[in-house]
Structures are given as C-alpha cells and as structure tokens.
Amino acid sequence: MTADPRIAEITARIVERSKPTREAYLDRVSQAISKGVHRSVLSCGNLAHGFAVCSPAEKDALSGDSVPNLGIITAYNDMLSAHQPFEVFPEMIREAAREAGGVAQVAGGVPAMCDGVTQGQPGMELSLFSRDLIAMAAAVGLSHNMFDAAVYLGVCDKIVPGLAMAALTFGHLPTIFIPAGPMTTGQGNDEKSQIRQLYAEGKVGRKELLESESKSYHGPGTCTFYGTANSNQMLMEMMGLHMPGSSFINPNTPLRDALTKEAVKRAFAITVNGNEFTPVGQMIDERSIVNGVVGLHATGGSTNHTMHLIAMARAGGIQLTWQDISDLSDIVPLLARVYPNGLADVNHFHAAGGMGYLIRQLLNAGFLHDDVRTVFGEGMEAYAIDVKLGENGTVSRETIGNGPSADPKVLTTHDKPFQPNGGLKMLKGNIGKGVIKISAVKPERRIIEAPAVVFHDQQDLQTAFKAGELNRDFIAVVRFQGPKSNGMPELHRLTPPLGVLQDRGYKVALVTDGRMSGASGKVPAAIHVTPEAKDGGPIARIRDGDMLRLDAENGTLEALVPAEEFDSREVATADLSGNEFGMGRELFAPFRHHVGTADEGASVVFG
C-alpha cells in the first residue's frame, strides 16, 4: 500500500466520486464474465466463419471451450516507424500460442496515424478524434466473441489510449499490451531542436533541416524523445498492463522477441482456462489510474495524457479530474530528465535504470500503490526489476536495489529529485481552465505578464513572426483550436518561432484551446483551455493588447481586465468553414459536433 497519506487521500476521493459509475461498470463486467465465451454454443455457421482459415488442429481445438483463443488487435502499418515492427508480431504470437497449447487470431486492425507526419497539416485535425475511432475499431474486432483474452499491439500517441479505452470496454477479457520499443539513438534531440530554430530564423534551408530530421528519425521504433508515445509506454507499465521491464527494449532484438512470446504465454495463464483469471476491467481500478498519473509526473510526461487518462479512466467507470492530476503533481517529485526535460533520450533513460529503477524509487517514497493487480500478478514490487535475456532465449529479471542509478543526471533518487513537484499543473482563472507542462520550463519563465496578441489560425502567428512583428514581450492567444472548432490539433509548429523569441530575451507565452505536442517544453504554454472559443468560452473575449498573466507557480490564468468590462464583451467568432473539408475532415463532422470538453477527456463516447 502507498505510505504517503496525501496519495491515499486523493485516491480515496476518486473512489468516492466514482462509486455510482464504477459499480455499474463492474456489474456489467461481471455479467459478461458469467456469460463467458462459449464457442461450442455458436451456430455451426457462426463458428465455421470464425475459424475458416485455421488449420484442422486449430479448428478441432476451437470447436469446444477448453482451448483458449487469443484475439490480436494490431495497429500495424509500415509508414509509422513505431508500428512497423508489428508486421511480424502476429506470426510470432501464433507460434507462441501453439507452444502454450492455445490458438491466436488477428481479431482486427485499427488505424494508426503519425502526428509527426501531420504536424501543422490538415490531417492533424483528425488526430485526437482517431483515439475514439481506434477504440471503436478495436470493438468491432472483438465483437465476434471468439476470444478468451486479447493482446493489443500499439505504441504511439492516440493509439494506446484508444486501445486502452477498448480494453476496458471489453473488461471481461484478460488483456496484455505488447510494445515494439524505441528506435536506436540517432542525432541528439537538442541538436534537432537547434536546427529547427535556425530554420525558423531563415539561417539554414530545407535541405539542412531535412538532413537533421532524418538523422533523428532514422529507423523502426518510437521517436526517442519523451513525448506522448513513450509516455504511453511508461503508463502501460505503471498501470500493470505491460510485462515487467518491456517498455523500452529496442525492436528486432532477441530480448524484444522473448518478451513478446512471454506476454502471449502469460495471456493464456490469466484466462478463465488458466490458473490466474484476471479480467482487465476488475484488474484496473482507481489505484492503477493513480499509479499511472504518479508515473506521468515523476517522468515529466506528455500533456496529452491530461485528456487521455481521463477518457481511459471513464471507460472503466472511474471519474478522474484535472484537479486530481494537478494535486498529485504537487506531491510527486520529478525523477527523470528526458528530452524535452533534459538532453537524454529514452534509450539513455532505460540504460540508466529505466522503468524498474523509477518504480523502485517511487515505491521507496510511498508514492505508488503496491497492492494492485497486474498482468504479472499481485503488486508493483514485481516491476522494480532489470530485465535481461536469459538462457535459451528466455526472459530473466533481477530485483533493483536502492543505490544510485547508472546515470544520476538522467534518473535520480526520490530524496534528491530534479524538482520537488511533477511536470504538469492545472491553471484556473477568468480565462477558464487549462494545463501547463512545467518540467521543461525554467523557473524564471513560469510567471509571464504581457499584452495579448490574438490569432485564429496557427499560420497567422508564423506569418507575423516572419514579418518581424513579434519582437516584443507578448502572450500569443491562439484560439478556435479546440475539439469542437477543428478537432484540437497539436500546435507544435509554434514552438520554434516562440523559442526563437524567448531566446532573444523576450517574455513570451502561449494561451490556446488547442494542444501542444508531448515534445513541447521550454516555452510556457497554457493549453487545453476550456471552455473553448467555439463554446463561447472566456478565451473568446480576449482582445489584442489585453494584459494577461500566466502564473504556473500559483496555477492561475487571468486576463487583467476589469471583471464587468471583460464579462460584458461579445465573444469573438471565426470562420471555420476551411476546417470542414479535405483530408477526410468532412467524415469527422459528427465528432466535432458531439465531442466533450477537454477537461472531461475530449471524448465522443466517454465525455
């Protein structure tokens, strides 16, 4: 159990708040478990369709209910580097299943888009909505009711949260997430960022920029900075959905393959046919969610998870709020320095001790609930390990002790943290509610008071920067970027120009109802501001020249305008017709019309 009473108190209030929805959810899970998976009672036509391409031995096995069948949900495509390794996983999983005395089938594929490709492009306006679409697509695959357990193959930004939402919707099934791992280290992330800023200033050309980017993103696996994709992997391990130590092993290595095969055998062990039946809906509870949030803060993880975690929790009947996330940030110290919070990448983080060392430190400090169920068994203590390739290609694990990490500049002890609080903070004020990632923002830049410069399109800010119109102190207000306006695209392309201005000595910040990438950091940015401008939120009342104050220390976001004047202003409007068509955006109109608010997960189905 957690030894820190503050963590226990926050967990207890989540439990209390969630009682009605959690109890109803668990009742649905229990009913689904009681019905079970009974392939033997399917009609002959149903079953014949379900195993038509299986071998005679597999057909014989699946004719009854004693041999478990593993459903594979895969996000494979070979354009997305993080998911390309999954091409060979289904056959590896099927072979491991046969060795374990079971059967495995690909139940379905889900879309997996790359935010790196669509950044600043029209396709980015589909990105956030793809999370809920992924959950729906996974549900289609599992709806055939042929499976005793499921494994999910996914890594990147919206993919893992969408798969987690699907997994909890099918909470009666035992579930394991199987990662593919990060690409090997290429050009340093700091050097990459410098080249981007030089390009923004016109000091290098497209050729030099492309050469730099290609050195950074050069092979299979996740991008090596600590953005949303790698935050996903951390979360899955912190929540007990990965096998211990599996998050950051490089693709196409013997250890990676051994961990994948081990996960398959474990999946069969936790089915109703095995000895340790562990349906995921009962396994993941409020303590698991809190452990995930703690990990997010201790590592300076992605701001996107202030929405994803809320949507994931709601899929399991758990009511997590921004206030819970912010209050946990005040308690949990920052223990990792991974770009953009430092110069190291995730491979350096793993070499320094990785997830096992991090979990050891969080357990020592009493910040984690140890008494949780995981896919590996009982308790987080089993995750405080170092994983290696053992004899005969098997997985070997050794318990991590209490000494310093292999690189204290990357991974530190709980009593010598890089900063005393976590990476994220909630902001509140007369502009609305928002969140800010502070782990990479220098303390002297966490309070900014400056006049507003208002934009309704991110390209307008780029144009103003190139025209030399922003060489001054200011807070950029980029609005009509929320879920209902245009799908809430990431505005990561604003980071280089704002970074240039900050480096020139100007006080700059960003306030937006849109998102920033999990890779963003050094420029203070109040994001996910809600209510959004399209909903008539106060952000739509801000005018050019209004003095704004962003105070990340005290958690406030204010327009320094007399209340009577500010409240009486008409809200601005914007012509959003240009966001309604092209690159599939017309197909997502129902999502824009029905999406929930950012602080409720920005979900179409759980909002």
Task: Report yes or no: 237 and 246 within 8 Å, Cβ to Cβ.
Answer: yes
C-alpha dihedral over 437, 442, 447, 449, to 10 degrees? -110
d(CA 228, CA 157): 5
Q: What is the pLDDT of residue 64?
A: 78
Q: Report residues of the chain scoring pLDDT below 50.
A: none
* Residue that the structure tokens 């070499």 belong to: 351
Q: Is-cis flag, bond preceding 68, omega within 30? A: no
Q: Which two tokens stand for residue 176?
A: 């394991």
d(CA 363, CA 480): 42
- Binding site as annotated, residues for [4Fe-4S] cluster: 156, 223
- Contacts (Cβ under 8 Å, ≥6 apart) of 120: 458, 492, 493
* Residue that the structure tokens 């008409």 belong to: 570
Q: Beta-carbon neighbour count of residue 12 at 10 Å? A: 12
Q: What is the pLDDT of residue 36?
A: 81
Helix (H) or strand (E) holding 103: strand 103-109
d(CA 597, CA 604): 10
Q: Beta-carbon neighbour count of residue 455 at 10 Å? A: 21
Helix (H) or strand (E) holding 210: helix 206-216
Amino acid sitting at position 319? Q
d(CA 417, CA 409): 10
- Binding site as annotated, residues: 156, 223
Phi, psi of 212, rounded to the nearest 5 degrees: -65, -45
Pairing of β 424-429 and β 432-437: antiparallel
Q: pLDDT tens digit string along 222-251? A: 989 898 999 999 999 999 999 999 999 999
Interaxial angle between packed helices 305-315 and 228-238, expressed in degrees from 0 to 180 and rounded to the nearest 10: 40
Phi, psi of 377, rounded to the nearest 5 degrees: 140, -135
- Contacts (Cβ under 8 Å, ≥6 apart) of 210: none
Polymer length of the chain:
607
Would residue 221 be called left, alpha or beta, if left means φ above 0 and alpha means ψ between -120 and 50 degrees? left
Domains of the chain: 5-35+68-184+219-399 (no CATH), 37-66 (no CATH), 191-216 (no CATH), 424-579 (3.50.30.80)
DSSP designation for 148? S
Q: Whole-model pTM above 0.85? A: yes
Phi, psi of 100, rounded to the nearest 5 degrees: -90, 0
| Neighbour-count burial of 415, counting CB atoms closer than 10 A to its CB (0-12 exposed, 13-18 middle, 19+ buried) | exposed
The β-bridge partners of 528 are none
DSSP designation for 101? T
Task: Report yes or no: 508 and 523 within 8 Å, Cβ to Cβ.
Answer: yes
Arithmetic mean of pLDDT over the chain: 93
